[in-house]
Amino acid sequence: VEFACGIPNLLKTDFTDNIGGGIDNWNLRQPLGVVAGITPFNFPVMVPMWMFPVALACGNTFVLKPSERDPSPSLLIADLLKQAGLPDGVFNVVQGDKVAVDALLAHPDVQALSFVGSTPIAEYIYTEGTKHGKRVQALGGAKNHLVVMPDADLDQAVDALVGAAYGSAGERCMAISVAVAVGDVADRLVPRLAERAATLKIRNGMEDDAEMGPLVTAAHKAKVEGYIAKGVAEGAKLVTDGRGHKVDGHENGFFVGGTLFDNVKPDMTIYKEEIFGPVLSVVRVHDFAEAVDLINRHEFGNGVSCYTSDGGIARAFARQIQVGMVGINVPIPVPMAWHSFGGWKRSLFGDHHAYGEEGVRFYTRYKSVMQRWPDSIAKGAEFTMPVAK
């Protein structure tokens, strides 16, 4: 919101005086009109805030279609905006499932759509939206890696991995789901991760000391446990098994404990696919070059991190890695509001990242104006009363 409040400065463009024959050339950005945002269940306030503040500040009206799994926060946002004085019809909420989504994709008044969710749905939104002539930014899935170099501060790396892999029960697109252990660091890393994963405080998420809560639905719990079984079947070493975790007083809750695999290979399902749960896979590689190659070959390119004390390695990593958001000794490199959020490869469909200056470009059209004024307009003008003309 603070970033969007600076929109007068962000909308400033260029002016070239007298390019020839009294002609000036200047540019401006104009709003698209009606734009829409389709958002996921996991951050029902934060993700819409990536979209509508910039969209509204640029002069558009906004339609929010939240996840049907948690519709209430969107209504709270709408109520707060109304209390703040936003006119009716400027910010709108449409509840529903795929029927509502398809209606937005096809409606001729909707000029652009933003989406955050899984890659299959992101690809569908992008394909259908562009087919109907709309501008689309569709942020999809991820398989975020964290590289641990032999010279890394292991205390920091372990803390980072535990928080990034198991925070929010792994149900976030910036979760770290693969630890890439370089050289002999794996033998020191895995036992410490196993100890931390086994002692996570898994509770009702409303309790003050909870470190991890339940998954979103029973169906998703079963899906995550299915991935764990698949990892075992394909030969990965299950170090810590989170299946069957029970929480006192919530025995029927959708809980999966922190799960850790070792000796995971690139051809295994748990490495290739986004699990969206508290499952961390350790992949062992020989050197830095192998780590970079491993990550660059993955179909997703959302976020990545490298823990090292070597500035040369850090510099090379930031430049060689084919991923949209990079952290150096930072586990979840989510950009600040004045930068922009978005991945590469099959983690993003469309040409624009979310929020920041990229968001301003997405929610506006660029126009060039060339103008010349006739000289006669000022000739014979009189500016003394009472004959000013």
In a domain? residue 381: no
202: β partners? 212
In a domain? residue 96: yes
Q: Is 206 found in the same domain as 66?
A: no
Checking if the pLDDT of 85 tops 80, the result is: yes
pLDDT for position 389? 53
pLDDT for position 174? 93
pLDDT for position 380? 61
DSSP 23-73: EEEEEEEEE-SEEEEE--SSSTTHHHHHHHHHHHHTT-EEEEE--TTS-HH
Confidence of residue 386 (pLDDT cuts 50, 70, 90): low
Lowest-pLDDT range, 69-78, 237-246, 299-308, 335-344?
Answer: 335-344
| Half-sphere exposure in the Cβ direction for 2 (13 Å, CA) | 4
Closest by CA position to 281, among listed 143, 139, 178, 208: 178
CATH number at residue 265: 3.40.309.10
Edge-to-edge strands of the sheet including 61-65?
91-93, 61-65, 34-38, 110-116, 135-139, 348-349
306: β partners? 147, 328
pLDDT for position 335? 87
Residue with tokens 């898994």: 202
Q: Number of structural domains, the chain?
A: 2
In a domain? residue 338: no
Q: Determine how β-strand 325-328 pairs with β-strand 91-93.
A: unpaired
Q: How far apart are CA 168 and CA 177, in angstroms?
A: 13
Convert the pLDDT of each residue in 180-189 to its tens digit.
999 999 999 9
Percent of the chain with pLDDT over 90: 80
Q: Is 191 found in the same domain as 165?
A: yes
In a domain? residue 339: no
Q: Is 160 found in the same domain as 135?
A: no
Entry pTM: 0.88
Average of pLDDT values for 207-214?
A: 91
CB 179 within 8 A of CB 308: no
- How many CB atoms are located within 10 Å of the residue 305 CB? 29
In a domain? residue 386: no
In a domain? residue 379: no
Q: Is 252 found in the same domain as 117?
A: no
Q: Is 115 found in the same domain as 36?
A: yes
pLDDT for position 383? 60
Cα 262 versus chain centre, distance = 27
Checking if the pLDDT of 103 tops 80, the result is: yes
Q: Is 192 found in the same domain as 110?
A: no
In a domain? residue 162: yes
Q: Is 355 found in the same domain as 313?
A: no
Dihedrals phi, psi of 173, to nearest 5 degrees: -70, -15
Mean pLDDT of the chain: 93
Average of pLDDT values for 80-89?
A: 96
38: β partners? 65, 115
Q: Is 151 found in the same domain as 135?
A: no
CATH number at residue 109: 3.40.605.10
Closest by CA position to 307, among listed 196, 141, 163, 191: 163
Q: Is 151 found in the same domain as 69?
A: no
Average of pLDDT values for 90-119?
A: 97
Lowest-pLDDT range, 109-113, 150-154, 272-276, 374-378?
Answer: 374-378
Checking if the pLDDT of 379 tops 70, the result is: no
Cα 25 versus chain centre, distance = 37
Q: Is 216 found in the same domain as 176?
A: yes
Domain span at 354: 4-140+347-372
Between the CA of residue 242 and those of 145, 197, 224, 238, what are the distances in Å? 21, 9, 10, 10
In a domain? residue 187: yes
Q: Is 136 found in the same domain as 148?
A: no
The three-state secondary structure class of 327 is strand
Checking if the pLDDT of 12 tops 80, the result is: no
Among 5, 58, 173, 306, the active-site one is: 173
Residues 6 or more apart from 238 whose CB is under 8 A from it? 228, 231, 232, 259, 260, 261
Sign of the four-CA dihedral 382, 386, 387, 389: positive
173 is catalytic: yes
Residue type, position 109, single letter: D
pLDDT for position 4? 82
Convert the pLDDT of each residue in 296-351 to its tens digit.
999 999 999 999 999 999 999 999 999 999 999 999 998 888 888 899 999 999 98
Q: Is 24 found in the same domain as 169?
A: no
pLDDT for position 18? 82
